[in-house]
Amino acid sequence: METCDALIVGGGPAGSSCAWKLQQAGLDVVVVDRAAFPRDKVCAGWITPQVVADLRIDVDEYRRGRTFQPITGFRTGLIDGSTEVETAYGRPVSFGIRRCEFDDYLLRRSGARLQLGAPITGIRRNDVQWVVNDSIKARMLVGAGGHFCPVAQHLNPVLRGAPLVAAQEVEFRIDPREAASFTTAAESPELFFYPDLTGYGWCFRKQDHLNVGIGRLNRRSLPKEAADFVAFLKARRKIPADASWRWRGHAYLLSDPPRRRVAAEGVLLVGDAAGLAYPQSGEGIRPAIESGLLAAATIVEANGRYTRDRLESYNSDLGQRLGLRSAPRLVPGARGSGLAALLAPRLLDMPWFVRNLLLDRWFLHAHEPALAGS
């Protein structure tokens, strides 16, 4: 039976960030993930300067052999709309990354012991220890395995009515012969919203790769919407005309209520396992990373006594940092509303609204400093 101080289930940005911080504090950490890394993880994939600061990423070192696309603007509009608004910042406000590279980099850098390609087959509590797969014992367990994380399901057997985003995405290398045949600029991702404001699609050129996807609230199936969105993009010459599509689907919870329970005796949830994606945009990388760092700080502060009351501060810290309360957001509800459909074309035609609220506040969270400097 292998033992460790903390066992983290899930090697994505939330789990690897938590492991990195715990290792720095001198704890012995094991990360278990069902996937082998580098893994094929499709994601629109951009990180803000605050994430770079939170994780102390050496940009010059990271970009050697990896995608690191500066983003200096956005193009926005309605799906099937007639107008688009271009917002230019004149400086990088975010950076495009490929998750297969980014996740592997963070996980290897964490310094944790890794058990990859190892699905979770059992979780049980034994006195003051957790026993996972009948092979690893740990007093502290962290669930970081995404929406379907087995630790999250163990802690939250039933959760009804939570706001769930379904997404379909594809990412592929651009054929050099087609690189000049479409108009999407690498430094300006394109975002197109549904008229009822229940979701949006995107087209993002990351150096020599292209990522296209859609996400919608409380949708069970997206194949028709995905096909329609591709046709819309092709009609506007925003993507290669002859590109082939192999869609990848996934789902995740927004941080709106009802929420998953994230703390209990000897266990914390982080990232998508906790359901922390920003409700305004559905973006989840920064909340995942910051929740992992906050969880690590809580574990270190508990100093080996992982009782529920000593871990409960994580819940309040998370709420304060990520604003886990009902908040105004672009996606107002599962059905949308006549008012949303009426307002959307007007709001998305207003450069001031697009820059100051839609992009700066809801997508980039530019007003919130890095966790390390707050």
Q: Which token pair is 201?
A: 């699609």
CATH of region 2-72+91-160+255-326: 3.50.50.60
Classify residue 161 as left (phi > 0), alpha (psi -120 to 50) or beta: left
Please report, in angstroms and rounded to a whole number, the separation of the first and last CA atoms in the chain: 41
For residue 369, cis peptide bond before it (omega within 30 degrees of 0)? no
Angstrom distance (rounded) from CA 62 to CA 286: 18
Angstrom distance (rounded) from CA 110 to CA 142: 15
Amino acid (1-letter code) at residue 323 = G
Which pTM value belongs to this model? 0.93
Model pLDDT for residues 26-75, shown as the tens digit of each residue: 999 999 999 999 998 878 889 999 999 999 999 999 999 999 999 999 99
Model pLDDT for residues 246-289, shown as the tens digit of each residue: 889 888 888 888 889 999 999 999 999 999 999 888 899 999 99
Which residues of the chain register pLDDT less than 50? 326-337
244 φ, ψ (degrees, to nearest 5):
-95, 150
DSSP state string for 330-368: S---SS--HHHHHHHHHHTT-HHHIIIIIIIIIIS-TTS
Q: Where are the domains of the chain?
A: 2-72+91-160+255-326, 164-253+330-363
**198, 324, 311: which is closest to 264 by C-alpha?**
311
> Taking the CB of residue 100, how many other CB atoms lie within 10 A of it?
19
The pLDDT assigned to 333 comes to 39
CATH of region 164-253+330-363: 3.30.9
